[in-house]
């Protein structure tokens, strides 16, 4: 019985190893296709990898670059946006996303956001959820060291240093974990989409017979307000305008 279990474990490790090896092979072929300017093939292979790991920021970034080379602006924005959700502190992703956005037709003046809300969001997006979690662990280790200094040091100066350091780093630990959770929540509960059609008429009601409100174009990002209907979604633009569009006209970030 024990021998069978050991064999089964070894087989599982072997299968996992072959799978990883296969993915690495696909990644190498995709990178090679991109370097050789065979962008259609690169996209095809990167999409295969994305089916296995859609949370890989580097992979999303590569897809954004490949689609840009194919002049598929909407798809490029979509994948750069997905990469930015995973790694909001990556300057290269942010730069390329801003650059591709300049290729879109629509221009909007964003609504004014409250100062504290803007600052809080900026702080949360300073690092990814993984990096915030790592910081939280580091702060907790320092907190334990400071606590040990306070409890076991015989000198009053060191005890005071340990006490105040422990208070500081327990606060930083809590904050880092809160920011990690918030950043993960932003990434996993994204209610945004990118328009894929060349142009889309935004309606006043979820119906073809609804009044035409305005037109938006390929690559425009929208915030999804109501996703409860089967074929229609209520969306809001960055300037506050709202209306209904068909779900087939956009892709979720």
> Sorting pLDDT into bands at 50, 70 and 90, what band is 16?
very low
User: Which of 74-78, 139-143, 188-192, 229-233 is the least confident region?
Assistant: 188-192
* Residues 184 and 196 both lie in one domain: no
At residue 20, the pLDDT reads: 61
Q: Is residue 36 part of a domain?
A: yes
Q: Is residue 110 part of a domain?
A: no
Distance (Å, rounded) from C-alpha 16 to C-alpha 10? 10
State phi, psi for 240 to the nearest 5 degrees.
Answer: 100, -10
CA distance 202 to 110: 18
User: Which tens digits make up the pLDDT trace of 125-148?
Assistant: 888 888 999 999 999 999 999 999
Kindly give the residue spans of alpha helices, DSSP state H, lying in 111-253.
Answer: 115-124, 129-152, 156-188
Residue 108 lies in a domain: no
Q: How many domains does the chain have?
A: 3
Which CATH number characterizes residue 239's domain?
Answer: 2.30.30.40
Q: What are phi and psi of 213, to 5 degrees?
A: -95, -55
Contact (CB, 8 A) for 79 and 46 = no
Tell me: do 59 and 124 sit in the same domain: no
- The boundaries of the domain holding residue 143 are 115-188
Is the domain of 161 the same as that of 144? yes
Name the pTM for this structure. 0.76
Residue 195: pLDDT over 80: yes
Write out pLDDT tens, residues 36-93.
999 999 999 999 999 888 889 999 999 999 999 999 999 999 999 999 999 998 999 9
Domain end call among 40, 74, 101: 101
Residue 107 placed within a domain: no
């Amino acid at each position: 019985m024990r021998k069978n279990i050991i064999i089964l474990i070894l087989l599982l490790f072997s299968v996992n190893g072959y799978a990883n090896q296969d993915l690495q092979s696909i990644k190498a072929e995709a990178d090679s296709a991109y370097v050789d300017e065979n962008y259609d093939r690169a996209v095809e292979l990167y999409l295969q990898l994305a089916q296995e790991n859609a949370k890989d920021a580097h992979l999303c970034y590569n897809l954004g670059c490949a689609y840009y080379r194919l002049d598929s602006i909407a798809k490029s924005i979509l994948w750069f946006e997905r990469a930015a959700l995973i790694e909001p502190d990556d300057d290269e992703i942010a730069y390329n996303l801003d650059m591709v956005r300049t290729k879109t037709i629509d221009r909007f003046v964003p609504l004014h956001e409250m100062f504290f809300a803007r600052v809080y969001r900026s702080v949360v997006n300073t690092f990814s959820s993984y990096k915030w979690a790592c910081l939280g662990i580091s702060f907790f280790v320092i907190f334990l060291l400071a606590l040990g200094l306070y409890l076991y040091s015989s000198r009053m100066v060191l005890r005071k240093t340990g006490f105040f350091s422990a208070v500081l780093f327990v606060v930083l630990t809590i904050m880092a974990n809160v920011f990690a959770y918030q950043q993960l929540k932003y990434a996993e509960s994204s209610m945004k989409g990118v328009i894929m059609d060349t142009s889309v008429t935004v309606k006043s009601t979820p119906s073809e017979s609804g009044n035409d409100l305005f037109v938006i174009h390929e690559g425009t990002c929208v915030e999804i307000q109501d996703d409860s209907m089967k074929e229609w979604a209520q969306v809001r633009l960055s300037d506050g305008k709202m209306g209904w569009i068909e779900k087939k006209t956009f892709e979720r970030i």
